[in-house]
Every structure is written in C-alpha cells, then in structure tokens.
Amino acid sequence: DVKVTQSSRYLVKRTGEKVFLECVQDMDHENMFWYRQDPGLGLRLIYFSYDVKMKEKGDIPEGYSVSREKKERFSLILESASTNQTSMYLCASSLEALGNQPQHFGDGTRLSIL
Amino acid sequence: DQQVKQNSPSLSVQEGRISILNCDYTNSMFDYFLWYKKYPAEGPTFLISISSIKDKNEDGRFTVFLNKSAKHLSLHIVPSQPGDSAVYFCAASRRGSQGNLIFGKGTKLSVKP
C-alpha cells in the first residue's frame, strides 16, 4: 500500500512566522501535490511537482512556496503566515506524469494561524 | 469557473438503500474520472475510477457510470451502510496534464441506520 506521511496532524503558528509542512511518500512516485481544503470550497491545488527540483504553480500559489530536493519528500512553505492560511493542508502523490493514475493522500495537517 | 461540479452539498439515505452521488463536468478534454471518500480529520481515500473509453466500472458495492454526451458521472453505492457516511469528491483529469486532478466541492453523504 502507498503511504503518504505528513509530519504533523495539528499545528498552531503565529502571524508572520515562516511555516514548514513536510510530506514523505514511500512508493517512489514521480508526482507530488499540495492542496488546501476549506469548507464549501473543496480541494484547491497550491503547488505540484513532477520531478526532483521541479515545481509548478497550482490554482492558489500566492503566499506559498515548495521544495523538492529528494524524490520522496515534498515540502510546503508559508513564507509569512497569515490568518487566511488557516486551513487543512493535504499532500498527495501519484505514480507517473503521463498516465492516468489516482493520487494517494496523507491524513492532512490542520494548521491554525493566530 | 468550476470545471467539475457537485451540485448537491448533502445527501441523506436509509441504510440498505441505494446512494447516488452526481457529478457534472464542462471540459470535454477530461479522459479520466475518479471518486474519493473523505472522513473528518483524514485524507481523501481513492474509491473508484473510470476511463472515458468506458461507460461503467464496478467494484463491489460501488459502481461509477459515465455519460460522455451529457458530461455527467455518478457513483452508486448499493447497499448503503452507516460506515459510508463521509464526504465524497468527484475528480477529473486529462492526459498530458501531469496527473493534475480537478476536484468538485464534495457531497456529504449521511447513511441513517
């Protein structure tokens, strides 16, 4: 079974802090994704990566950056946290870029910015 | 501009009956469709998918139907069980989009004992 692990289930940070959310997958997947989920808005794509050191903006990249130094690890960075970034953050991975493959999700990080 | 729409925010069904969750899409380039189930405080779990070359895919109690001319798909759960109570997301992608999925906003299913 695919395992996608997010480093924290719950996180509380202060406005202006730099926040790191970590995600690791154990199935040698090429693609990795970061979403946020908010009530009534579904899942919105922040950034994705289809290879090491490659990154692409999703639908809502503003205020975020990402890092993928190793294939199994994809980090989401909130450069200067703001209260409107309080949300559930979900990491996902999938097998290959060109084929039709499902994404597999971690359990999420509930981030609160005070 | 929503490309994947789930127009029913919630659905309530009696245990043992059929649950039908609906999804509409606007992009005719989508060629792969998926359903995910999500419990509170957990990540979405992949349920079932269908390629655009098919009109039906079945896996146990779950069946997905695709009507390309209507740009509509549906998930049937038969029989429904209380453990099926969750939020269900429809998602779609097109070949060459690097695995990107476009998600609907979800439908909350409640199965009453």
Q: What is the pLDDT of residues A61-73, one digit of tens each?
A: 999 999 999 999 9
pLDDT of res. A98? 58
Contact A45 B100 (CB under 8 A): yes
For residue B98, give the nearest of A41, A90, A97 by CB distance: A97
Q: Count structural domains, chain B.
A: 1
Q: Give contacts of A48 with chain B, Cβ < 8 Å.
A: 98-100
Q: Using DSSP, state whether A42 is helix, strand or coil.
A: strand
Residue A88: pLDDT above 70?
A: yes
- Average the pLDDT over A71-81 and give the result: 96
Closest approach of B110 to chain A, Cα-based (Å): 17
- Average the pLDDT over A13-38 and give the result: 95
Low-confidence ranges of chain B (pLDDT < 70): none
Domains of chain A by start residue, with CATH: 4-113 (2.60.40.10)
**Mean pLDDT over each residue of chain A, to the nearest integer:** 92
Residue B41 belongs to domain with CATH number: 2.60.40.10
pLDDT of res. A41? 87
- Token pair in block for residue A90: 């979900």
Which domain, by its residues, includes B101? 4-112
Q: What is the DSSP string of B17-50?
A: S-EEEEEEE--TT--EEEEEEE-TTS--EEEEEE
Q: Using DSSP, state whether A83 is helix, strand or coil.
A: helix
Instruction: Report how far apart, in Å, the C-alpha atoms of A82 and of each of A26, A33, A48, A55, A87 are.
Output: 31, 21, 22, 23, 11
Q: What is the DSSP string of A84-112?
A: GG-EEEEEEEES-SSS----EE---EEEE
Count of CB pairs separated by less than 8 Å, A with B: 62
**Alpha carbon distance A46, A12 (integer Å):** 20
pLDDT of res. B35? 97
Q: pLDDT (tens digit, 9 = 90+) per residue, A33-48? A: 999 999 888 899 999 9
Contact B105 A108 (CB under 8 A): no
Residue A97: pLDDT above 70?
A: no
